[in-house]
A and B are shown apart, each in its own frame.
Chain A
């Protein structure tokens, strides 16, 4: 579990144009400097937004990575719900889900 390193990678990816380009070109190499577990590495590369959420990535970091990955807002919310369904409750951090897995709080 290296949530700090995972969050740090996504923090840099959100704000660093060079890293974004590198990630698009050669994702494995781009994330190599960060000490991630296999599960975290897989979640980033796939990308599995739901798993990243369950791993505890702060939503203020994750929502931008989702947008960068081409995931639209309602789909982003759904992927997090699906992540909880598939991988269980959020394991760390302060962004745990309270509502039912099938509840669409924002209406969509």
Chain B
């Protein structure tokens, strides 16, 4: 039928795994923003939720790394990480291979997305689902943009991928929701974990919320690496969400929470 919801959020494993170590005055409003996003998402009555993540070597490795991939399985499972470490219980997540196939066929008209009939979710998808679908009710279609193993897909292709997802969502009769998840600036899993470039994040979010495509695509990877760390490469997921939604963004929550290793973000986009 159409795209009925579009948003972005953070997914860092510390958000759940190191919850008690965060400042409650920041953590609790962040969790509440996730809760509000959950309510808005479910109110949109999606038949399926596409989650576009920036996978971290749970399924894809440098032996055969797709720039873009979409899941096409009956079921998925996660988290692949130790459930006690991530503090998210293991679960099986319902997919819809027929819907996946129809979406992929349309996406591939313009973007050569790989497909995967096996996919184990890591924190990149499980942390968002923990907040956005705690009762495991939704049908999920996972997607991935390689933001980890350079060479990385250019930002303008991430935009094209978002456009393709929108076209695909509008082509199928089902109601499709889209959540894209990534960090903005961060240096995850390094000794610099906790470093966050707030000014850079705010500038990026401003460009993103205004739907300023040229400004959003203007970052070179060299600049992003310098100013926003290797985690900053994940802006590709935000770029894809903006391209898919076409409407202005609203940032419901942004705050740097160092023990979560990222400027924690919850934002939605108008579907235009």
Contacts and interface: CB of A to CB of B under 8 A. Distances in A.
Given A67-B82, A80-B191, A84-B191, A61 B57 contact: yes
Interface string B9-33: 0000010011001000000000000
Nearest to B150: A94
- Secondary structure of the A side of the interface? helix
Nearest to B187: A98
Nearest to B63: A8
A34 interface: no
Nearest to B260: A106
A1 B148 CA distance: 21
Interface stretch (B37-45, B104-112, B132-140, B192-200): B192-200
Contacts of A106: 193-194, 258-259, 261
Interface string B51-65: 000001110011100
A97 B189 CA distance: 10
13 contacts: A11-B57, A53-B190, A67-B81, A77-B193, A80-B190, A81-B191, A95-B190, A98-B195, A105-B258, A106-B258, A106-B261, A107-B194, A108-B259
Interface of B: 14, 17-18, 21, 56-58, 61-63, 80-82, 85, 120, 148-150, 187-195, 225, 230, 258-259, 261
Interface of A: 4, 7-8, 11, 14-15, 53, 58-64, 67-68, 73, 77, 80-81, 84, 94-99, 101, 105-108
